Structure 1
Amino acid sequence: MFGYVRPFKGELLVKEYDAYKGVYCQLCRAIGDHYGALARLALSYDCTFYALLALNQKNASVRAEKKRCTCNLMKKCTYVCPANGDGYSEACFHKAAALCVIMTVHKLRDNIEDESFFKGLAARLLCGLSGRAMKKASADYPFMAEAVQRMMDAQHAAEHAERVSIDACSAPTAELLETLCQELGETEADKAVLGQLGYFLGRWVYIMDAADDLPEDLRKKNFNPFVEKLGLSAYLGGDLPQEQRDAADRECNAVLNGSLARMRPAVNLLPEGEFTGIIENILNLGLPEMQREILFLHIKEKKHGRSV
């Protein structure tokens, strides 16, 4: 995933922020426990959100536990752990940990394809070192590995089609998150709500990444669906003039707002649980704030979730 799905800290209650950090830290520990210490590099905000959504769906039994940080023994962390060996909450963290590994390895493979041999050396090394973790994660959750592979194949086809469109390019990511979120529901009603949430969140994530990367993709002549949509081919290999940059930012923002609007009815139908406030903060406030930072404040450094 891309690291865009994160809370707006300024509007979180103190207890909510502590709970979010606790889930984040427990996910880090779960990744290490299941897939090895190196796999912790795959930790992201996006998969933390997935863990929160899974835990909240059945109001999983969890407790706070203060222990040494798994990455920095000089630091103490408060972990949100499964309470009394609760199998469902343990499965939520395991599933989110597997998603971290699978998505990260596929992202590394994608980077290897896009970069030259020497620029892609780091990705090749990490991809090679992640082989065992990827194999184990795929065996633990085959449906997840298959869904991600389908997404990557469909993404490649959409981006190399004769006619490129935002809808076609964003659909594979949207359908992946739809599948992953639907799997968390038990009833048909739950699956419908989670599916709509996942679909439009996935669409938003892909479009946000494309909008964020647009100036760099233009300079490097890389693929970006907004180049054709906004008629920016003349600027390939260079920088956008300020007037065109502002117009592009406004257009990208409008497209993103469309996905947010379609997502909100599903957000309102999510079950009430211990993490509802955090989830609503992320979807209703965190995503719009990310748009503001990237498109209007031009904060280019992506927040990939290494610390909170």
Structure 2
Amino acid sequence: MFGYVRPFKGEMLVKEYDAYKGVYCQLCRALGKYYGFPMRLTLSYDCTLYAMLALNQRDADVKAEKKRCCCNPMKKCTYVCPANEDVFAEEAFHKAAALSIIMTVHKLRDTAADEDGLKAFGARVLRLFARRAMKKASNDYPFMADAVQKMMDDQADAEHAKEISIDRCSAPTAEMLQTICAELGSNAGEKAVLSEVGYFLGRWIYIMDAADDLTDDLLQQKFNPFIQKLGLESSRGLHLLPEERKRADEECNAVLNGSLARLLPAVNLLPSGKFTRILENIFEKGLPEMQREILFLHIKKEKRHD
């Protein structure tokens, strides 16, 4: 996943943001516990959301625990960690950690194939470094490894098809998250709701990433499904004119809003739990705010803050 799924801090209570950061920090600790200290570098906001979905689905028993930061001993963190030996809470963090490893290694494989020079070399080195953790994560949760591998294979097919479409290109990511989220349900009804949430969240993430990268992909003459959709083939290697950029941003926003319109009704069917308000903030406010920052404020990835 790509780091786009974050809460909108301005609309959160202090205790809600503290709880969110507590889950984030506990996921960091779980990455170290299950896959080794260096694997904490794979920590992401996207997998934090997955951990919260898992915890909320079973209303897992958790507690706040203040301890020194695993990565910076000079700093104290509040961890939201399993309480009373709750196996569902423990497994939620274990699954989120495994997903973080698997997604990161596949992203490195993608970068090594698509980039040149130092970027490609660095991705290959990091991938080798994470090989043991990847093997363990895949053995811990084979359904995740299979779903992500299928996503990568289907993505390659979609990007090399004769006819390029947003629907086909976004489907692999959507189907991958659909599979992984649906697994959290304990009955057919829960699985149906989680499946819908996962599918349209995955679709939104892929489209958001494509929209974010559009101008760079045009300049560097890389693949992007919006190039064909918006008829920008003649602009490869060039900067978009202001009116072209405005039209592209508006079109991307409309496509993203279509995914949100299908995602939010499913979110409303999720069970109530300790993290319900935080999840609602992420889906109802965080995702639209991310669209605003990228498409209308033109804030690039490296300049975004919590």
TM-score by length of 2: 0.98
What residue in structure 2 maps to residue 268 of structure 1?
Answer: 268
Specify the SS of the correspondent of 1:164.
coil
* Kept after mapping to 1: 8 A contact 2:111/2:119: no
Matches within 5 A, 1:249-268: 249-268=249-268
Specify the SS of the correspondent of 2:174.
helix
Distance, in Å, in 2 between the alignment partners of 1:235 and 1:22 is 45
What residue in structure 1 maps to residue 50 of structure 2?
Answer: 50
Specify the SS of the correspondent of 1:85.
coil
- Give the Å deviation of 1:105: 0.2
What residue in structure 1 maps to residue 133 of structure 2?
Answer: 133
The answer to whether 1:123 aligns with 2:144 is no
Matches within 5 A, 1:155-304: 155-302=155-302
* Bigger RCO (CA 8 Å, 6+ sep): 1
* Kept after mapping to 1: 8 A contact 2:182/2:192: yes
What residue in structure 2 maps to residue 87 of structure 1?
Answer: 87
Distance, in Å, in 1 between the alignment partners of 2:161 and 2:4 is 27
- Give the Å deviation of 1:7: 0.1
Describe the superposition over 1:69-103 as per-residue Cα deviations: whole angstroms up to 9, x where unpaired. 00000000000010011111000000000000000
- Give the Å deviation of 1:119: 3.2
* Kept after mapping to 2: 8 A contact 1:4/1:303: no
With 114-123 and 143-152 compared, the bigger mean Cα shift is at: 114-123
What residue in structure 2 maps to residue 151 of structure 1?
Answer: 151
What residue in structure 1 maps to residue 71 of structure 2?
Answer: 71
Matches within 5 A, 1:101-112: 101-112=101-112
Specify the SS of the correspondent of 1:84.
coil
Specify the SS of the correspondent of 1:120.
helix
- Give the Å deviation of 1:264: 1.1
Distance, in Å, in 2 between the alignment partners of 1:207 and 1:234 is 22
Specify the SS of the correspondent of 2:301.
coil
Specify the SS of the correspondent of 2:119.
coil
- Give the Å deviation of 1:302: 4.8
Distance, in Å, in 2 between the alignment partners of 1:115 and 1:36 is 28
Specify the SS of the correspondent of 1:80.
strand
- Residues 176 and 303 of structure 1, relative CA distance in 2, 3 Å threshold: farther
- Give the Å deviation of 1:118: 3.6
What is the one-letter code of the residue matched to 1:111? T
What residue in structure 1 maps to residue 34 of structure 2?
Answer: 34
- Give the Å deviation of 1:125: 1.1
Percent identical among aligned pairs is: 69
Consecutive unaligned residues in structure 1, runs of 5 or more: none
TM-score by length of 1: 0.98
Count of residues in correspondence between the two structures: 306
What is the one-letter code of the residue matched to 1:293? E
What residue in structure 2 maps to residue 4 of structure 1?
Answer: 4
Distance, in Å, in 2 between the alignment partners of 1:275 and 1:302 is 28
Consecutive unaligned residues in structure 2, runs of 5 or more: none
The answer to whether 1:114 aligns with 2:109 is no
Describe the superposition over 1:252-271 as per-residue Cα deviations: whole angstroms up to 9, x where unpaired. 00000000000111011110
Distance, in Å, in 1 between the alignment partners of 2:67 and 2:221 is 48
With 116-125 and 259-268 compared, the bigger mean Cα shift is at: 116-125
Describe the superposition over 1:219-267 as per-residue Cα deviations: whole angstroms up to 9, x where unpaired. 0000000000000011101110010000000000000000000011101
Distance, in Å, in 2 between the alignment partners of 1:41 and 1:163 is 37
Distance, in Å, in 2 between the alignment partners of 1:302 and 1:54 is 29
Structure 1 runs of 4+ with >4 Å offset: none
